[in-house]
C-alpha cells in the first residue's frame, strides 16, 4: 500500500478543491495536489501519487526510474493501477 506511482500533470481541473488531471501510464486520472501547494506545480511536472494524493514532486528521470521499477513488481503494480482505476473520485468521467 505504500507504492508511489508517477504521474504527469496535464490540467489543473479544480483550483478550489486542489484537483489536477494527471497522466498515469497513459490513462488520465484526477488526483488531489493539496499536499504540494507550496511546490508551485506546473503543467507537465511529475508527481508521485499515493492513495489519490500527489505526495512529492519528482523530476522526469526519477519518474522513468520509478515507473520502470513498478513494472518489474508485476502483480503488485497491476493491483495498484487497478485500484486507482476503480477509484471513483479519481475517475475522469466526473461522476462525483
Partner 1 sequence: MKFVDEYRDPTAARALVSQITALSGDDQFKLMEVCGGHTHTIYRHGIEHVLPANVELVHGPGCPVCVIPMGRVDDAIAVAREPGVIFTSFGDMMRVPGSRGNLLTAKAEGADIRFVYSPLDALQVAIDNPDREVVFFAVGFETTAPSTALTLLQAKAKGVDNFSVFSNHVTIVPPLRAILESPDMRLHGFLGPGHVSTVVGQRPYRFVPSEYGLPLVTAGFEPLDVLQAISMLLTQIREGRCEVENQYSRVVREEGNPRALAILAEVFELRPHFEWRGLGFISQSGLKLRSEFSAFDAELKYRIPGVRVADPKACQCGEVLKGVIKPWECKVFGTACTPETPIGTCMVSSEGACAAYYNFGRMHREAAVALGRRSQLTV
Q: Tell whether residue 86 is a contact of partner 1 (CB under 8 A).
A: yes
What gap in Å lies between CA 4 and CA 66, rounded to an integer? Answer: 8
In the three-class reduction of DSSP (H, G, I as helix; E, B as strand; rest coil), residue 41 is classed as coil
The C-alpha cell at 1 is 500500500
Binding mask 41-80 for partner 1 (x = CB under 8 A): -------x-xxxx-xx-xx-xx-xxx-xx--xx-xx--x-
Q: How far apart are CA 88 and CA 96, in angstroms?
A: 7
Interface with partner 1 (CB under 8 A):
1-4, 17, 32, 34-38, 48, 50-53, 55-56, 58-59, 61-62, 64-66, 68-69, 72-73, 75-76, 79, 83-84, 86-90, 96
Amino acid at each position: 500500500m505504500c507504492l508511489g506511482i508517477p504521474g504527469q500533470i496535464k490540467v489543473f481541473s479544480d483550483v478550489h478543491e486542489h484537483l489536477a488531471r494527471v497522466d498515469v501510464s497513459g490513462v488520465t486520472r484526477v488526483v488531489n495536489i493539496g499536499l504540494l501547494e507550496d511546490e508551485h506545480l506546473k503543467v507537465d511536472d511529475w508527481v508521485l501519487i499515493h492513495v489519490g494524493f500527489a505526495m512529492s514532486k519528482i523530476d522526469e528521470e526519477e519518474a522513468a526510474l520509478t515507473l520502470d521499477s513498478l513494472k518489474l513488481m508485476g502483480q503488485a503494480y497491476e493491483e495498484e493501477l487497478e485500484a486507482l482505476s476503480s477509484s471513483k473520485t479519481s475517475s475522469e468521467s466526473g461522476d462525483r
